[in-house]
Amino acid sequence: MHQDVKRIQIFDIAKGISIILMIISRFSFVSLYPYLSAFQDAVMVFKMPSFVFISGYLLSDRLRFRPFLESKIDGLLKPLLSFVLSLTILEIIFYVFTADVVTLRGAIGYPTNLLRSFYHGSFDVINVSFWFIGALFLGQLSLKGFLEIRRLKKPLNYIFLVVFFMGVILLDTLKIKFYWTEYIPSFFLYLSLGYGFKQLSTRYFNGTKFFYSNKTVVFPILFLAALFVYPKLNLSTSLDLSGLLFNYHYTLVLSLLGIFTLLFVCRFIEKVPVLSAALVYCSKASFFILAYHIFILQIFTHFFDMETYNPILHTSLVVLNLAMCCLIYKLVRQIKIIRVFFYPLKTLVLNYCEVKIVNSKYLKRFFPAEDTVMN
């Protein structure tokens, strides 16, 4: 049993790396360093897909759809709304302390933007990274819906599957930019591939032992070869899920090779205790990192020069940004009542007041029933 727990750690390490690669691209100084820019271009093809693929691999099919929906509202949607509200408050405070002239109109602009975000179905004006959490929520619901449809009796399941895939194809064609629906097709695909590979590896490749096989060295070889060959064939190596820059053939193959390459590298990182522990913690704090790194970067930009070549300073700021996000993750967890709205209930030991809150008339329906009792 200890061996299984240790092995599953490579997925957390990979998710931690994925999150770090995501936030580094937000720093404007990346363009000052040619090698860093080239590295970012190379990993762009798998840094976001890796997180989604692994989320699909780790997806539990223990719950039926209704409990699963409640679990995802509790674990994804609830924290997202809490991040949105907390960042709005932080932006107002930052404005009050840094603006040359503080006006009521300027302060009111932030809650006004919040209301507009709900109306327009996008929180990009608050944090451009929130699309990822929302897309992951919808993608996981789509995958769970697909799995539930498969359980139906024939021929009813075939009818609903046709309707389901017609809906996915329609969303992929129209790309409706309203509450992250434009990302459902690509996220559903990577989640399905992750989930499907788990079923395949469990049946044929000894489960997680596959990732420790020496044969997996073929993935980094093929990935590096593809990065070299694609441009020769006039094939683009660009993939950006956030910008909907994606296709279902050669970039998909390249990204999958990148995902397995990352997992191959993680088996060696796992052997370095300090580094692996840090990356696992970043994985646990991943949504806090996505939520607060831009605000912290905004503070850094106010005090430090981000446009002048200074590798020591810029590296320190990246590490400090991550550390502050992880510290927020740890500190908020200690704040009674407030923490209920930022963390999945199953990860908390609730006190009496917190149980009363989650069991209140208006909130109880949104939380998993088994998690709303005092632990």
Decide: residue 220, CB within 10 A, 0-12 exposed, 13-18 middle, 19+ buried: middle
Nearest to 64, CA basis, from 143, 144, 139: 144
Q: What is the pLDDT of residue 364?
A: 75
pLDDT tens for each residue of 203-240: 988 888 899 999 999 999 999 999 999 999 999 888 98
Counting as low any pLDDT under 50, the low residues of the chain are: 1-7
**Distance between CA 226 and CA 161 in Å, rounded?**
34
CB 27 within 8 A of CB 306: yes
| pTM of structure | 0.92
Q: How far apart are CA 100 and CA 92, in angstroms?
A: 14
DSSP string of 109-174, one letter each residue: HHHHHHHHHHHHT--TTT-TTHHHHHHHHHHHHHHHHHHHHHHSPTTHHHHHHHHHHHHHHHHHHH
pLDDT at 108 (0 to 100): 92
For the chain, the first-to-last Cα distance in angstroms comes to 25
Is there a contact between 130 and 295 (Cβ–Cβ < 8 Å)?
Answer: no
pLDDT at 53 (0 to 100): 97
- Distance between CA 270 and CA 292 in Å, rounded? 27
Ordered by start, the domain boundaries in the chain are: 2-332, 338-375
Token readout for 112 is 């006004």
pLDDT for 216 equals 93
Q: What is the pLDDT of residue 372?
A: 56
Return the pLDDT at 370.
61
